[in-house]
Amino acid sequence: MADATDSSLPRLAFVGGGNMARSLIGGLVRRGAAPGRIAVAEPNAELRERLAADYGVAVQADGAGAAADAEVIVLAVKPQVMRLVCEALRPIVQQTRPLLISIAAGIRLDQLDAWCGGGLAVVRSMPNTPALIGAGASGLCANARVTPEQRRSAEAVLGAAGLTTWIDAEEHMDIVTALSGSGPAYFFLLVEALEDAAVAQGLPREAARQLATQTALGAGRMLAEDGEAPAKLRERVTSPGGTTQAAIDCFLTRGLREIVADAVAAATQRGRELAAGSGS
pLDDT of residue 259: 97
Listed as own residue / partner, the contacts of 182-189 with beta carbons closer than 8 Å and 24 or more positions apart are 182/128, 182/267, 183/128, 183/137, 184/128, 184/129, 184/130, 186/260, 186/263, 187/216
CA distance 40 to 50: 11
User: pLDDT-derived band of residue 280, with 50, 70 and 90 as boundaries?
Assistant: low
DSSP string across 222-236: HHHHH-S-HHHHHHH
User: pLDDT-derived band of residue 8, with 50, 70 and 90 as boundaries?
Assistant: low
Nearest 5°: the CA angle 187, 259, 240 is 80
The H or E element that residue 124 is part of is: strand 121-126
The neighbour count for residue 110, using CB atoms within 10 Å, is 14
Mean per-residue pLDDT of the chain: 93
Q: What is the pLDDT of residues 201-226, one digit of tens each?
A: 999 999 999 999 999 999 999 999 99
Of the chain, the percentage scoring pLDDT greater than 90 comes to 89
Q: What is the mean pLDDT of residues 75-87?
A: 95
Yes or no: is domain 12-176 CATH 1.50.10.100?
A: no
pTM of the model: 0.87
pLDDT of residue 273: 85
The neighbour count for residue 50, using CB atoms within 10 Å, is 15
Q: Is the pLDDT of residue 1 over 50?
A: no
Q: Is the pLDDT of residue 3 over 60?
A: no
pLDDT of residue 207: 98
Q: What is the pLDDT of residues 15-73, one digit of tens each?
A: 999 999 999 999 999 989 999 999 999 999 999 999 999 999 999 999 999 999 999 99
User: pLDDT-derived band of residue 279, with 50, 70 and 90 as boundaries?
Assistant: low
CA distance 173 to 156: 20
Q: What is the pLDDT of residues 130-184, one digit of tens each?
A: 998 999 999 999 999 999 999 999 999 999 999 999 999 999 999 999 999 999 9
Domain coordinates of the chain in residue numbers? 12-176, 183-275
- Write down the CATH number for the domain with range 183-275: 1.10.3730.10
